[in-house]
Structure 1
Amino acid sequence: MKVKKIGTFNKVRKVFVNLYSALEKPFAPTKFFLKKYDKSVWPLIKTNNVVRRFYKREELVIEDYENVELINCKSRDGVNISAYLYTPNKNSNKWVIASHWFGGYKNWSLHHAKVFTKMGYNIIAFDFRGHGDSQNIPTTMGLNEVYDLMGVFDWLKENKTIDQLALFGISMGAFCSNFVALKYSDEFKQANLKYIVSDCAYGSVYRLLIHVRNIYLKLFISKKRVKKIIRKLIAKYNESEHNIDLRDASVFKLLREGYKPVFPTLFFHSKDDKVTPPTDTYEFIIERNKMAGDDYLIYSYSMHTQAIREHFKTYNFKIAKYISSMDKNRKDFYNVVDEWSLVEYNKRDQEAADLK
Structure 2
Amino acid sequence: MKNSRRIKKNTLINNVKKGFRTFYGGMETPFKQSSLRVWIQARKFNKTRQDRKWLKELLTTNKVVRRFYKRPELEIQDIENVTPVDFKSRDNLNLKGLIYEPNKGSNKWVIASHWFAGHKTWSLHHAKVFVEMGYNVMVYDFRGHGQSQNDSTTMGGKEHKDLMGAVDWLKENKKIDQLAFMGTSMGAFVSNYCSILYKEELKALNFKFVVSDVTYGSVFSLFLHVRNVYLGFLPKKRTKKFINKVIAKQNKKEVSINLHEVSIFHLLREGGNKDLFPTLFCHSSDDKVTSPTDTYELIIKRNNQDDDYLMFNFSMHTQGIRYHFKTFNYKLAEFINRFEKDDVLFDKVIKEWELLKFEKKDQLSLMLK
TM-score, length of structure 2 as denominator length? 0.94
In structure 2, the residue matched to 1:300 is 313
Query: Any gaps of 5 or more consecutive residues in structure 2?
Result: none
* Other structure's SS at 2:338 match: helix
Alignment of 1:1-356 (within 5 A): 2-36=6-40, 37=42, 38=47, 39=52, 40-218=54-232, 220-260=233-273, 261-289=275-303, 291-356=304-369
Letter in 2 for 1:91: G
Q: Which amino acid in the other structure matches residue 201 of structure 2?
A: E
Structure 2: which amino acid aligns with 1:11?
N
State the alpha-carbon separation in 1 of the partners of residues 123 and 10 from structure 2: 26
Distance of aligned partners of 1:80 and 1:284 in 2 relative to their CA distance in 1, 3 Å threshold: same
Aligned equivalents of 2:148, 2:191: Cα separation in 1? 18
**For residues 253-276 of structure 1, what are the alpha-carbon distances to aligned partners after superposition, in whole Å with 9 as ceiling and x for unaligned?**
011112435210111000000000
Q: Deviations over 1:124-175 (max 9, x none)?
A: 0111011111111110111100000000001000110000011000000010
- Please provide the CA RMSD for this pair: 1.0
| SS of residue matched to 1:327 | coil
Matches of 2:33 and 2:325, distance apart in 1:
25
Query: In structure 1, what residue type is equivalent to 2:178?
Result: Q
Distance in 1, Cα, partners of 2:12 & 2:188: 22
**Cα 1:4–1:32 shift into 2, 3 Å:** closer
Q: Which amino acid aligns with 2:22?
A: N
One-letter identity of the residue aligned with 1:241: E
| Cα distance in structure 2, aligned partners of 1:179 and 1:217 | 28
Structure 1 CA distance for aligned equivalents of residues 34 and 245 of structure 2: 47
The answer as to whether partners of 1:68 and 1:86 remain within 8 angstroms in 2 is yes
- Is this contact kept in 2: 1:182–1:259, CA < 8 A? no
d(CA) in 2 for partners of 1:66, 1:2: 33
Deviation at 1:354? 3.4
In terms of mean alpha carbon deviation, does 31-40 or 239-248 score higher?
31-40
Query: 8 Å contact 2:142–2:159 — kept in the other structure?
Result: yes
Letter of the aligned partner of 1:204 in structure 2? S
Q: Does the Cα contact within 8 Å between 1:183 and 1:259 map onto a contact in 2?
A: no
Provide the C-alpha distance between the structure 2 equivalents of 1:58 and 1:112, rounded to a whole number of angstroms. Answer: 12
Aligned pair count? 354
Name the stretch that deviates more: 87-96 or 241-250: 241-250
Distance across 2 between alignment mates of 1:62 and 1:2: 33
Equivalent-residue separation in structure 2 for 1:133 and 1:259 (angstroms) = 37
Task: Supply the distance in 1 between the matched residues of 2:18 and 2:167 (Cα, whole angstroms).
Answer: 27
Q: Is the 8 A contact 1:97 1:166 kept in 2?
A: yes
Please give the per-residue CA displacement for 1:14-37, whole angstroms capped at 9, x wherever unaligned.
Answer: 111111111111101222222111
Residue identity matched to 1:337: I
The alpha carbon displacement at 1:247 in A equals 0.9
SS of 1:162 mapped into structure 2: coil
- Please, what TM-score do these two structures have when normalized by structure 1? 0.97
Q: Secondary structure at the match of 2:356?
A: coil
Distance of 2:94 and 2:6 partners within structure 1: 13
**Following the alignment from structure 1 to structure 2, what is the Cα–Cα distance between the partners of residues 248 and 193?**
25
Q: Is the 8 A contact 2:101 2:136 kept in 1?
A: yes
Distance 1:58 1:20 in 2: 21
Q: Distance in 1 between matches of 2:26 and 2:203?
A: 42
Question: 1:4: Cα distance to partner?
Answer: 3.5
**Which letter maps to 1:240?**
K
Displacement after TM superposition at 1:248 (Å) = 1.4
Moved more, 49-58 or 35-44: 35-44
The CA distance in 2 between the partners of 1:140 and 1:155, in whole Å, is: 23
Matched AA of 1:152? A
Unaligned runs of at least 5 residues, structure 1: none
